[in-house]
Structure 1
């Protein structure tokens, strides 16, 4: 689906009608802040995932690795259940890429 210039103009007109010209800068700022927070959270999660993968390669105690993986899965609202560490890592990677 490609959005052309006519559709963009229509969207801007609807936004101006709904929010008024004075609210547009405030709306743009809030969208910018939300985007920044999303990027920051994604970056932090990717760093945590790299740290977990690094610790797996370095040979840290298995219990420590498993607890870190499960904690990260819980933070990302992934159901841990009886899944193996490898399954959880796969799901974490898929969630981070989204």
Structure 2
């Protein structure tokens, strides 16, 4: 279910999205954006695991 989002877009769409992101933020800001995105995903997954563990008990 987590990978469903990535199946919605083909390679051409991802290339267009990457070009738009580069134009909007520039190359120097992208590592910061990806770091923030990664931290957000990590926090979300941790919260999801916590809720799943609580519901099992």
Q: If the length of structure 1 is used for normalisation, what is the TM-score?
A: 0.49
Show the counterpart of 1:15. Answer: 21
Residues 1-98 of structure 1: matches in 2 within 5 Å? 2-51=8-57
| Structure 2: gaps of 5 or more residues | 1-6
Structure 1 gaps of 5+ residues are 52-98
1:32 positional shift: 0.4
Deviations, residues 2-55 of structure 1 (Å, cap 9, x unaligned): 42222111100000000110010110011100000000001011111111xxxx
Work out which structure has the larger RCO, using CA pairs closer than 8 Å and 6 or more positions apart in sequence: 1
Question: When the two structures are aligned, how many residues end up with a matched partner?
Answer: 51
TM-align CA RMSD = 1.4
Tell me which structure has the larger Cα radius of gyration.
Answer: 1
